[in-house]
Amino acid sequence: MATIRINDLRTESIIGIHKHERKKKQPLIINITCTYNSTKSERTDTITDAVDYDTLTKKILAHVSASHYFLIERLASSILEIVMENKKIKEATVHLHKPQAIKEARSVSIELHAQRSR
């Protein structure tokens, strides 16, 4: 099994329940960890046998940038759904940070995890 980590992916989105949060995109930081069986890609050295993290990242960035969710729980869940669309991925964790959520805190974050049934 291999673990892929996408660290500190930076983007912006309309996110939040307050009136001022609905007017302007806010910065977000996304960390994604996913595992898959890399045995075939290790042998073939072919991207079609691996998890294409570049394509995955572009899809997530496009989705988040266009989204208008109220809760970070929902946004994190939608990102996790995108990750798990790739049937090669056996399990994944999404950790979403909202740095401007609370002025006195570095960020507020949520972590969600999914695992395929055996």
The 10s digit of each residue's pLDDT in 83-101 is 999 999 999 999 999 999 8
- Residue pair 9/32 in contact (Cβ under 8 Å)? The answer is yes
- Residue 118, pLDDT above cutoff 80: no
CATH number at residue 55: 3.30.1130.10
pLDDT digits (tens, 9 = 90+) for 45-54: 999 999 999 9
Which amino acid belongs to residue 24? Answer: K
Question: How many domains are there within the chain?
Answer: 1
pLDDT of residue 117: 85
What residue numbers bound the domain in which 62 lies? Answer: 2-115
Contacts of residue 69, Cβ cutoff 8 Å, sequence gap at least 6 = 13, 14, 15, 75, 78
- CA atoms of 25 and 88, how far apart (whole Å): 33
Rounded (10°) CA dihedral 33, 113, 42, 61 = -50
pLDDT of residue 19: 94
